[in-house]
Amino acid sequence: MVYLTRIEHFNAAHKLYNPGWSREKNEEVFGKCANENWHGHNYELYVTIKGVVNPDTGFLYDAKKLSIIIKENILDKLDHKNLNVEVDFLKDKMCSTENLAEGIWKQLEKALPTEVKLHSIKLYETPRIYVEYFGD
Partner 1 sequence: MSNKVAVFRKEHFNAAHRLHNPGWDENKNNAVFGKCNNPNFHGHNYDLIVKVVGEIDPETGFLIDMKVLSDMIRENVLEKFDHKNLNLDTPEFENLNPTAENIAMVIYNILRKKLDEKLYLQIRLYETERNFVEYPAN
Tell me: does residue 19 bind partner 1 (CB under 8 A). no
Q: Which of 29, 42, 71, 91 binds partner 1 (CB under 8 A)?
A: 42
Whole-number Å distance between alpha carbons of 127 and 136 = 25
Q: Which of 11, 18, 65, 134 binds partner 1 (CB under 8 A)?
A: 11
Stretch that binds partner 1, among 12-20, 52-60, 94-102, 109-117 (CB under 8 A): 12-20
> What is the 8-class DSSP label of residue 50?
E
Whole-number Å distance between alpha carbons of 77 and 69 = 12
**Amino acid identity at 51:** G
Binding to partner 1 (CB under 8 A) within 59-118 occurs at 79-82, 85-86
> What is the 8-class DSSP label of residue 88?
G
Whole-number Å distance between alpha carbons of 9 and 42 = 7
Q: Could you list the residues that contact partner 1 (CB under 8 A)?
A: 9, 11-14, 32-33, 35, 37-42, 79-82, 85-86, 126-127
